[in-house]
Amino acid sequence: MNWTIEEFPIKELATGETLKLKTYTVKGSEGPHIHIQASVHGAELQGNAVILQLMDLINQTQIRGSITFIPLANPYATNNKHGTYTYGRYNPVTGHNWNRNFVDIINVSKFDLIGFVENNIHLPWHELKIVYKSELDQIFRNYFDKLIETRALSENNKLNLMLQHLASKADGILDLHTGPTATRYLYAAEYEAEVSHYLKFKYNLIIPNEYAGSMDESAFMPWVHLMNKLKAQGREIIPDIESFTLEFGSEETFRMDEAAKDVESIVNYLRYKGVLEGMPDKIDSHSCLLENYKTIFSPKGGLVDYHFEPGQKFNKGDTLASFYNLKNIDPNDPIESSRSAVKAEQDGIIINRCPSSSVHQGMELYQVMTKLSEHKV
Amino acid sequence: MNWTIEEFPIKELATGETLKLKTYTVKGSEGPHIHIQASVHGAELQGNAVILQLMDLINQTQIRGSITFIPLANPYATNNKHGTYTYGRYNPVTGHNWNRNFVDIINVSKFDLIGFVENNIHLPWHELKIVYKSELDQIFRNYFDKLIETRALSENNKLNLMLQHLASKADGILDLHTGPTATRYLYAAEYEAEVSHYLKFKYNLIIPNEYAGSMDESAFMPWVHLMNKLKAQGREIIPDIESFTLEFGSEETFRMDEAAKDVESIVNYLRYKGVLEGMPDKIDSHSCLLENYKTIFSPKGGLVDYHFEPGQKFNKGDTLASFYNLKNIDPNDPIESSRSAVKAEQDGIIINRCPSSSVHQGMELYQVMTKLSEHKV
Amino acid sequence: MNWTIEEFPIKELATGETLKLKTYTVKGSEGPHIHIQASVHGAELQGNAVILQLMDLINQTQIRGSITFIPLANPYATNNKHGTYTYGRYNPVTGHNWNRNFVDIINVSKFDLIGFVENNIHLPWHELKIVYKSELDQIFRNYFDKLIETRALSENNKLNLMLQHLASKADGILDLHTGPTATRYLYAAEYEAEVSHYLKFKYNLIIPNEYAGSMDESAFMPWVHLMNKLKAQGREIIPDIESFTLEFGSEETFRMDEAAKDVESIVNYLRYKGVLEGMPDKIDSHSCLLENYKTIFSPKGGLVDYHFEPGQKFNKGDTLASFYNLKNIDPNDPIESSRSAVKAEQDGIIINRCPSSSVHQGMELYQVMTKLSEHKV
Amino acid sequence: MNWTIEEFPIKELATGETLKLKTYTVKGSEGPHIHIQASVHGAELQGNAVILQLMDLINQTQIRGSITFIPLANPYATNNKHGTYTYGRYNPVTGHNWNRNFVDIINVSKFDLIGFVENNIHLPWHELKIVYKSELDQIFRNYFDKLIETRALSENNKLNLMLQHLASKADGILDLHTGPTATRYLYAAEYEAEVSHYLKFKYNLIIPNEYAGSMDESAFMPWVHLMNKLKAQGREIIPDIESFTLEFGSEETFRMDEAAKDVESIVNYLRYKGVLEGMPDKIDSHSCLLENYKTIFSPKGGLVDYHFEPGQKFNKGDTLASFYNLKNIDPNDPIESSRSAVKAEQDGIIINRCPSSSVHQGMELYQVMTKLSEHKV
C-alpha cells in the first residue's frame, strides 16, 4: 500500500525534548478522506489497538480515498503518571480537560461565513465542500499564526489546533476514546444520527448540533454552521461529513483480541463511506438524547460496593450501589449501621462507573442512559 | 463584641469524616452586611492572615452592621498536597478550577426576574434590596434542593452554592485570593470601578459586568441582572452592593506582619461602607481593562531565568525572560547557544509569574497589565 | 456482645481538622488477643469489607479472648486522590511507602533484651509472654515520648508507632492488604510457616524472620528477637504469636459478596487460636520463598497487552505480555513491527500485575511466584 | 577547546520516545578527571546554570585533565509536573526518592575486594587507582548485564547505574543539588573534610564514610571500601578522590547571575585539583556533623508563619515559627487563641525550610545545623 508518514512537533518539554505527533496516511484511488485518532485523553488506550488492527487489515485490501491514522494523539497526557495510573483526563499543570478546549474555529476566527455562503451557494455540493475545506485550511493557518504572534498559544491550543486542522480535510472523523470503567458506546450529533447506525454500536448518545469544546464537535461545527447558513438562504443540505466519538470500553486497557472485534464498527462505516468495498450493515441499537444521559453524583462519602456493571440494565428502585461509612459503625450491627443505599430513580442502562470504591461526596458515581429509544434493523 | 460561630458541612470524605466551613459573624448596630472569605483556592493562604488581623482589630472598636468571616473556605483544597506544595488551584479529582464553577443563579434557576421587576420597580431602593435578597435566599434553597433530589450535586456545587448563598445576604463581598508568584492587585466589575479605589490597591483589573464562573462574579451578577432589568424599565440604579476579588501577593505564603498592612485596604472599604468609623481615603492607582490583561504563554520549553519580578514595570523590547534549552548546547559557546529571549511587545507591569523555572512550552509565563490608566487622587 | 470503641488522633491537617483511628474491640472470656487492621495502603479497601463481615459474624457467636478491629487504618492515605484513583501506596508529601517505615522497636529503642532474657528465662512461656508484652508497652511509651520531645516525630512515625503499639498487645496480628491487580495470597514469616496453612490461602509467600519495615514484620520482630536471644541461652521456643499480611485481591475494590468468602480464612485462623469454636482445617496450597518471588520490571516502554491474569500459571517460554511501541510502526506491517514480547524465563504463577497498560521502561510489570512447593493436606 | 558530546538512552516512555542523558566532555593535557552533574532531583535547577557558567569559563582558559558535564541528569523527573510545580524529589510512579537508590556497587556485586587488595597492595597509589578504576568499569558492566538478563532493572536502577558508572572514572565528583527553600551548603564525607574547605561553602555537613543510597556516597564508597581494606592490610591512604553534594539554594530557581558567583566554589576546587591554574584559597566556614543536623518535624497541623529564613542564626528559645489553627479561633481573641509557637531547643542555623505555609502535622518544617564548629582560615 501507499503509506506516508509525517511528524508534527507539539510540545517542547522543560528539558528540551520535543514531543511529536506521528501521522500515518494511506492513499488509494480517488475518494473520501477519513481521519482516525486515539488517546486525546492519555489513559484511553484501546483506540490505539483498534488503529493497529485497522492498519493491518487495510494492507490486505484496496481502498478508495485515503485514511490518516494518529495513534497516541496526546503523548504528554499518556506519559503523565502518578502512581501506576495515568493522568490522562486533564492537563496536570492547568487542570483543563484535554477534550473540552478545542475551538469553534468559525466563531473564534470571526470568519465571514455569511459572505462565503453568498458567494458560493450556487456551487454543487461536492464543489462547495472543496472550496469550504480550502477556506478552513486558510482559516486555521491564519488563526494559528495570530496566536503565535501574540504569544497567546496556551498549553492545549497547539495540540488542539493541530488536530482540528488535520481533521478539517476529512469527510469522516473518528475520535477514539474510552470511559473510566465503561461499556462501548458512541457520541453522534443530531444531524449524523442516521449515519451513526452504520458504526454498529449498541448504545448511541445523540448530542445537539452545538459546541461544548470537544474534538468531535470542533470537527463537525464548521459543517453545522455551513448547513445553518445555507438553510437560512433556502438551501437544505445534511452534510455528508461526519464526526463521531467512539468509546471503546475502559481506560488503562489495551487488548488486541478485543480490538480485532472493535475494528468491525469502523470497517462497516468505511464501507458506508465507500472507502472499503462491501455492503455495510446495521444492528439493533439504543439511542439516548444528551438530556437523558445522567451523571449520578455521589450523595455521600464512603467505601462503595457497586451492584451494577457497565452495560447492565437497571430498573427504578434498584440499589445501584451501597455506601459504607466506616466512621459510623455500630459494632452490634456493623453492616446495617454503616450502610446506605443509592437507588435508581428511573429505568436505565449503566454506561460508565467510577473505577474506585473509595469515593468522596460529590464524585461521579455512575453515568447512565435513560429513556432510550430502540432502533431495530 | 457580639460574635456568632456556625458550622456548615461541605464534604463527606471516603473515610467518613466531614469537612466543614466555620463562619464567624460579628454584629453591631443596624447597618450593612459584609461577607469576607479566603482560600477558595487552597494554596492561597494570606487572606486568612488578613482575616485574623481584621477580627482582632474589630474587637477593639465598634461596628455598624455585621461582618461574616470565612477563613479556609475550601478545606479539601488546602489539605491537598503532592510533594510539599498544595494543589489548591483545581479539584484534584476532576481538574476543575475551584473558582470557575460558581453559578449565575438567576440564569440557572430560571427565576422570573422580569416579573419580579414589574412587581417591585416602584419600591424605594433600600426596600427593593431587602425584597430581592429575600427572593435570592429562596432561589438558592430551591435550587439546592432540586440538585440534591436529582443527585446532580457535583464535586464543586455544594461548596460553591453554600458560599454564594451566604454571600447573597451581603452588601459587600470580599473574596481573598493570591496569585502564583504575584504582586497585590484587585478585580472589580465595571459598575464598581469607582468604589474600587476605596480598597486602595495600586493595581486594579476592571472586568466586564459579566459572568465567567468566579465567586466575585457570582455575587455581583444577581445585582447586575437586576440593574439591567430595571434600566430596561427606565430606572437607572448603580447597586450599592459590591463584590471584589482581592489578590494578596503569592500563594503558599502566610505572613502576619504583611497582613497587618494588607488589612488597611479592607478597613478603608469598611469605612466607606460605614461599617467602621472614620473617613475613607484613596491612593494613586492604576487600572487595566480585562482585554488588556495579557497572559504570556511560554513560546518554548526550557529552564527559565525570569528578569522581572511581580510589581515591576517593563518597556517594549525588554527581555522579560531567558529560556535555556539544555539539550541544545554548543559547548564552545554554551550560554549563547542554549539561550533564547522572550521580549516584551509593549509596555506594562508584571502582575503574576510562574513560580517554577522549569517550564514546558505553552505554560503561563507571566500575566501582565498593559495600557494602564492612572487614577490620581 | 461486649464492644468498646476508642479513638486515637493521628494527624492534624493544615486546616485544623484531626484525622483519627477508630478501634472496635470485642471481649469474650479469658483468651488470646487478636489485632486486625485494614488499609495501611489507602487504596487497599477489601480488608474493610472483610472486617465488617467478621464483626457481623462475631455478633452471632461467642468468643474466647478479644479482638480489636481497625478499619481504615490510614485515613490520610485513603482520602488522597489524584484523578479518580487513590494515592494510597506512598505518602504524597514525602514519597515514603506507607508500609516500609514501621520500626524494629527493640533495635531503635536500644532495649536491653539480653538483660531481660537473663532475668526472665526461667519463667514459663505463658508468663514470659505477659512480662515481655508489658515491657513492650513501656518501650513504646518511652520511645514515643522521646520523639515528641525532640520534635523528631515525622509524617509516618505517629501512625506507625500507634499501630505497632496497639499490635504489641496481641497474640495474632492480621494486616489486611491487597495487591495492585492481584490474586489472593499471604505473607508469612519462616517461623510461622506451619501455622500459616490455617489461613487457607492458596498462595503463601514465606519471608525471612527479618526486618524490612513492614507492619507484619514490626509486629513479629520483637518475638523473633526474643526467640533468638532465648535460643542463644539454650531455650528453644517457637512463639505462638503470629503476624501475617493477608492480600485480598485488587486495590480500589470493595465487594461485600467476596468478603463473605474472604472472611473464612480469618475465621479458620480464629478457630486455630481458640478464639472461635470449631475445628480448624487446612487446604492444599503453594508456598514460595521470598528469594523466588520475582518482580519482572518492564524492559521497554510502550502500550502493554497482558496475556496472563493474576492467579494464572505460566510456563517457561510463554509470552507474558506484548509491548507495542507506537512511535515505531512500519505501516506495511503495523502489528509485527511495533510489537515485542516479554517471555517467561521459568515456570511460575502470576500474583500481581500493573493495573495500567501504559507502561514506562522500568516499571513493575508482574510479580510472580516461582519454584513453588506444594502443601497437600 | 576539545569537546566531545555523547548521548545515553535512559528511559523509554510509554509513548515510545526515549529520554536521554547528554554528556559534554572537555579534555586538556594529562591530568585528573572531574564529573559534574545537576538535577538528579528534577526540581533542583540551579546546578544547570552553574554548569553553563563553568563551561563558558573553561572555553576561555586551559585545563589539565578532563571534565564531564551532565546537565539535567534526570529528565523524567524535571519534566514531571503537577500544577506548576515540579515533582522532582521522588519517582512519581513508585515514590522512591531519586537520590536514595544508588547502589554500593562493591557490596551488591559481591566483588572480591580482599583478593583484589592482596594482589595489588604493592602497587604505588597512582597505579593502584588506575587498576581499581578499570576493575570498577568491569564490575558495573557485569552488574548491569546481569540485571538486564534477569529483567530486574527497575525504575531507578538504569539511571543510577549509568551515572555511577560514568562517575567511577573520575577523581572528583560534584553532584549539584538544591534544598527546598534553602541556603547554600555542602555535604562532605569524613575523609574529605579537609579538602571540602576548598569548595568555599559557608556551611559544611560532614557525613560518615558510610552508605545511605545517595549519589555522592555511591561515588566515594568504592574508595572508602578500598581505603578500609588497605588499612586492614597495614597500608594507610586517604584517597585523593572526592565526591561532594553541593547545595545551591532553593529548588525551582534558575538564576544565571547567581550562578556566576556559585561557580567560584567549583573553580577553586578545580584549582586545588590542578585542573585549572591558580592558587586555591579557603574561607572561614562552619561544619556540622550529620548527627547534629536536625529535622524539625511539624508538631501540629496549621498555617505557618516562618520567622527565620535559611542562612539565619537562631538561639535556644527563639520562636522559629508560629502555627495558626483556623478551626480553633476564639473570635474575641482571634490571634492568640489560634496561635502556637515552635521554639528552638538549642542554638543553630536554618539550612532548609518547607516552601509552603500550609503544613500537616509531621511534615518537615525546618532542617537546622546545631553544634557547629568554626573553621578559620
In a domain, A133, yes or no: yes
How many Å apart are CA B88 and CA B78, to the nearest integer? 6
Beta-carbon separation of D154 and C14 below 8 A:
no
How many Å apart are CA D37 and CA D78, to the nearest integer? 14
Q: What is the pLDDT of residue B373?
A: 95
Q: Which residues of A touch D82 (CB under 8 A)?
A: 82, 92-93
pLDDT at B252 over 80: yes
Check if C19 contacts B (Cβ < 8 Å): yes
Q: Which residues of D touch A16 (CB under 8 A)?
A: 72
Amino acid identity at A356: S
Residues A258 and A326 in one domain: no
Q: Strand, helix or coil at D327?
A: coil
Residue where one domain finishes, among candidates B233, B263, B283? B283
* Residue D4: other Cβ atoms inside 10 A: 12
> pLDDT (tens digit, 9 = 90+) per residue, B187-214?
999 999 999 999 999 999 999 999 899 9
Residues D153 and D102 in one domain: yes
Dihedral sign, CA of D285, D290, D293, D298?
positive
Residue listed under C-alpha cell 444521559: A293
Amino acid identity at A168: S
Residues D273 and D341 in one domain: no
Whole-number average pLDDT of chain D: 97
Q: Which residue of D has its CA nearest to B69?
A: D331
Mutation choice for B interface testing from C22, C37, C72, C79 by most B CBs within 10 A = C79
Residues C113 and C183 in one domain: yes
Residues β-bridged to residue B35: B68, B173
Q: Strand, helix or coil at C242?
A: strand
Beta-carbon separation of B332 and D26 below 8 A:
no
Residue where one domain finishes, among candidates B243, B260, B283? B283
In a domain, B345, yes or no: yes
Smallest Cβ–Cβ distance between B362 and the set A11, A17, A302 belongs to A11
* Residue B1: other Cβ atoms inside 10 A: 14
pLDDT at A176 over 80: yes
Q: In the structure, what pLDDT confidence band is assigned to residue D1 with cuts at 50, 70 and 90?
A: confident
Question: Which H/E stretch holds residue D343?
Answer: strand D339-343
In chain B, the percentage of residues whose pLDDT exceeds 90 is: 95
Q: Which residues of D touch C361 (CB under 8 A)?
A: 11-13, 158
Mean pLDDT to the nearest integer, B31-47: 98
Name the CA dihedral angle for D200, D206, D208, D209, rounded to a multiple of 10 degrees: 10
Q: Which residue of A has its CA nearest to C4?
A: A331
Q: Which residues of B touch C79 (CB under 8 A)?
A: 13-15, 17
Mean pLDDT to the nearest integer, A281-309: 96
Task: Provide the 8-state DSSP code for D191.
Answer: G
Mean pLDDT to the nearest integer, A294-310: 97
For A:54-93, CB contacts with B below 8 A are 76, 82, 89-91, 93
> pLDDT (tens digit, 9 = 90+) per residue, D251-262?
999 999 999 999
Residue B183 contacts residue B350 (beta carbons within 8 Å): yes
Residue D37 C-alpha, separation from nearest chain B C-alpha, in angstroms: 13
In a domain, C322, yes or no: yes
Q: What is the pLDDT of residue B156?
A: 85
Mean pLDDT to the nearest integer, A335-344: 97
Mutation choice for B interface testing from D84, D252, D258, D307 by most B CBs within 10 A = D84
Residue B272 C-alpha, separation from nearest chain D C-alpha, in angstroms: 24
Q: What is the pLDDT of residue D95?
A: 95
Q: Which three cell numbers stand for residue D364?
A: 518537615
Q: Which residues of D touch A72 (CB under 8 A)?
A: 15-16
Q: Which residues of C touch B38 (CB under 8 A)?
A: none
For D:198-217, CB contacts with A below 8 A are none
In a domain, A377, yes or no: no
Q: Which three cell numbers stand for residue A64?
A: 478508495
Residues C328 and C212 in one domain: no
Beta-carbon separation of C252 and A358 below 8 A:
yes
Q: What is the pLDDT of residue C1?
A: 75
Q: Strand, helix or coil at A180?
A: coil
In a domain, A376, yes or no: no
Question: Which H/E stretch holds residue D55?
Answer: helix D46-58
In chain A, the percentage of residues whose pLDDT exceeds 90 is: 95
> pLDDT (tens digit, 9 = 90+) per residue, A36-93?
999 999 999 999 999 999 999 999 999 999 999 999 999 999 999 999 999 989 999 9
pLDDT at D46 over 90: yes
Check if C332 contacts A (Cβ < 8 Å): yes
Question: The CATH number of the domain where C316 resides is what?
Answer: 2.40.50.100
Per-residue H/E/C for A220-283: HHHHHHHHHHHHHCCCCCCCCCEEEEEEEEECCCCCHHHHHHHHHHHHHHHHHCCCCCCCCCCC
Mutation choice for B interface testing from A93, A295, A367 by most B CBs within 10 A = A93
Residues B114 and B53 in one domain: yes
Task: Provide the 8-state DSSP code for C150.
Answer: T
Residues C238 and C146 in one domain: yes
Q: How far is CA B109 from the centre of its chain?
A: 23
Beta-carbon separation of B331 and D5 below 8 A:
yes
Task: Provide the 8-state DSSP code for D241.
Answer: -
Q: Which residues of B touch A327 (CB under 8 A)?
A: 15-17
Residues C84 and C116 in one domain: yes
Residue A172 C-alpha, separation from nearest chain D C-alpha, in angstroms: 26
Check if B14 contacts C (Cβ < 8 Å): yes
Q: What is the pLDDT of residue B121?
A: 97
Dihedral sign, CA of D173, D176, D180, D183?
positive
Residue where one domain finishes, among candidates D283, D307, D335? D283
Residue B322 C-alpha, separation from nearest chain A C-alpha, in angstroms: 13
Beta-carbon separation of B13 and A95 below 8 A:
no
Residues C344 and C302 in one domain: yes
pLDDT at D312 over 90: yes
Q: Which residues of D touch A14 (CB under 8 A)?
A: 78-79, 86
Angle at A153 between CA A149 and CA A154, to 5 degrees: 155
Whole-number average pLDDT of chain C: 97
Check if C42 contacts A (Cβ < 8 Å): yes
In a domain, C74, yes or no: yes
Q: In the structure, what pLDDT confidence band is assigned to residue B262 with cuts at 50, 70 and 90?
A: very high
> How high is the ipTM of this complex?
0.95
Check if B157 contacts A (Cβ < 8 Å): yes
Q: In the structure, what pLDDT confidence band is assigned to residue C37 with cuts at 50, 70 and 90?
A: very high
Residues B315 and B270 in one domain: no
Beta-carbon separation of B16 and A302 below 8 A:
yes
Mean pLDDT to the nearest integer, B142-149: 94
For C:335-364, CB contacts with D below 8 A are 342, 345, 358-364
Q: Which residues of D touch C294 (CB under 8 A)?
A: 152
Question: The CATH number of the domain where D120 resides is what?
Answer: 3.40.630.10
> pLDDT (tens digit, 9 = 90+) per residue, D214-267?
999 999 999 999 999 999 999 999 999 999 999 999 999 999 999 999 999 999
Beta-carbon separation of A26 and C253 below 8 A:
no
Q: Which three cell numbers stand for residue D251?
A: 529548588
Residue C149 C-alpha, separation from nearest chain B C-alpha, in angstroms: 24
Q: Which residue of D has its CA nearest to B356?
A: D252
> pLDDT (tens digit, 9 = 90+) per residue, C91-147?
999 999 999 999 999 999 999 999 999 999 999 999 999 999 999 999 999 999 999
Mean pLDDT to the nearest integer, A111-136: 98
Q: Which residue of D has its CA nearest to C328?
A: D16
Q: In the structure, what pLDDT confidence band is assigned to residue B377 with cuts at 50, 70 and 90?
A: confident
Q: What is the pLDDT of residue B155?
A: 78
Residues β-bridged to residue A321: A306, A342
Smallest Cβ–Cβ distance between C13 and the set B79, B83, B93 belongs to B79
Greatest Cα pair distance in chain C: 81
Beta-carbon separation of C16 and B79 below 8 A:
no
Amino acid identity at C109: S
Beta-carbon separation of D301 and C11 below 8 A:
yes
Q: What is the pLDDT of residue A139?
A: 98
Smallest Cβ–Cβ distance between A85 and the set C22, C83, C322 belongs to C83
> pLDDT (tens digit, 9 = 90+) per residue, C41-86?
999 999 999 999 999 999 999 999 999 999 999 999 999 999 999 9
Residue A83 C-alpha, separation from nearest chain B C-alpha, in angstroms: 12
Residue listed under C-alpha cell 509472654: C129
> pLDDT (tens digit, 9 = 90+) per residue, D188-207?
999 999 999 999 999 999 99
Mean pLDDT to the nearest integer, D55-61: 97
Amino acid identity at D118: E
Count of residues making up chain B: 377
How many Å apart are CA B368 and CA D222, to the nearest integer? 53
How many Å apart are CA C362 and CA B218, to the nearest integer? 49
Q: Which residue of C has its CA nearest to A38?
A: C326
pLDDT at C281 over 80: yes
Residue A254 contacts residue C304 (beta carbons within 8 Å): yes
Note down the domain range covering D241. Answer: 2-283
Smallest Cβ–Cβ distance between D14 and the set C89, C148, C302 belongs to C302
Per-residue H/E/C for chain B: CEEEEEEEEEEECCCCCEEEEEEEEEECEEEEEEEEEECCCCCCCHHHHHHHHHHHHHCCCCCEEEEEEECCCCHHHHCCEECCEECCCECCCCCCECCCCCCCHHHHCCCCHHHHHHHHCCCCHHHHHHHHHHHHHHHHHHHHHHHHHCCCCCCCHHHHHHHHHHHCCCCEEEEEEEECEECCEEEEEHHHHHHHHHHCCCEEEEECCCCCCCHHHHHHHHHHHHHHHHHHCCCCCCCCCEEEEEEEEECCCCCHHHHHHHHHHHHHHHHHHCCCCCCCCCCCEEEEEHHHEEEEECCCCEEEEECCCCCCEECCCCEEEEEECCCCCCCCCHHHHHEEEEECCCCEEEEEECCCCEECCCCEEEEEECCCEEECC
Q: Strand, helix or coil at D8?
A: strand
Residues B219 and B329 in one domain: no
* Residue B2: other Cβ atoms inside 10 A: 11
Beta-carbon separation of B5 and D331 below 8 A:
yes
Q: In the structure, what pLDDT confidence band is assigned to residue A155 with cuts at 50, 70 and 90?
A: confident
In a domain, C374, yes or no: no
Q: Which residues of B touch C84 (CB under 8 A)?
A: 93
Beta-carbon separation of D72 and A15 below 8 A:
yes
Residue C357 contacts residue C275 (beta carbons within 8 Å): no
pLDDT at A1 over 80: no
Q: What is the pLDDT of residue C377?
A: 82
The separation between the first and the last C-alpha atoms of chain C, rounded to the nearest angstrom, is 35
Smallest Cβ–Cβ distance between C15 and the set B13, B72, B83 belongs to B72
Residues D160 and D38 in one domain: yes
CA distances from B289 to B190, B373, D103 (A): 9, 9, 58
* Tally of domains within chain B: 2
> pLDDT (tens digit, 9 = 90+) per residue, B321-353?
999 999 999 999 999 999 999 999 999 999 999
Residue C370 C-alpha, separation from nearest chain D C-alpha, in angstroms: 13
Check if D26 contacts B (Cβ < 8 Å): yes
Residues 6+ apart with CB under 8 A from A237: A125, A227, A230, A231
In a domain, C375, yes or no: no
How many Å apart are CA B215 and CA A300, to the nearest integer? 25
Mean pLDDT to the nearest integer, C287-298: 97
